[in-house]
Amino acid sequence: MSGSANPATLSGTLTALIDPVRPPHGQVPVVFADPRSRREVPLGELLSRATHVAGGLRRLGVRPGEAIAAQLCNREETVILQFAALLLNAVLVPVVPVLGPADLTHILGDV
């Protein structure tokens, strides 16, 4: 996929679009930073970890179109889970970490 590809002309699933990115861009660093730390993780490593997580979720019974609710902060595990959901053709429902039990019950009842 070239940088000049028109998104309107792309076809297929998001998973099919991710796979060609692995070889040429696998060493591209993805930076995770906050006021106390900074970590660089190669894109290929994130995608490999996401593939592993997707396999585990599939074994747990997550199927295409199903929702995965997760209460995660802005960190690399969140990106891995987002990629895993894409690989499964599932839907990630991010839940704000500061919500209490009543709000979680309401949100999870809708998922």
Q: How far is CA 34 from the centre of its chain?
A: 20
Q: How far is CA 61 from the centre of its chain?
A: 18
In this prediction the pTM is 0.75
Instruction: Report H helices in the chain.
Output: 14-18, 22-25, 43-59, 76-88, 101-110
* Per-residue confidence in pLDDT tens, the chain, 111 aa: 444 455 445 556 666 666 666 677 778 888 888 889 999 999 889 999 999 999 999 999 999 999 999 988 888 999 999 999 999 999 999 888 888 888 888 888 876
H helices then E strands: how many in the chain? 5, 4
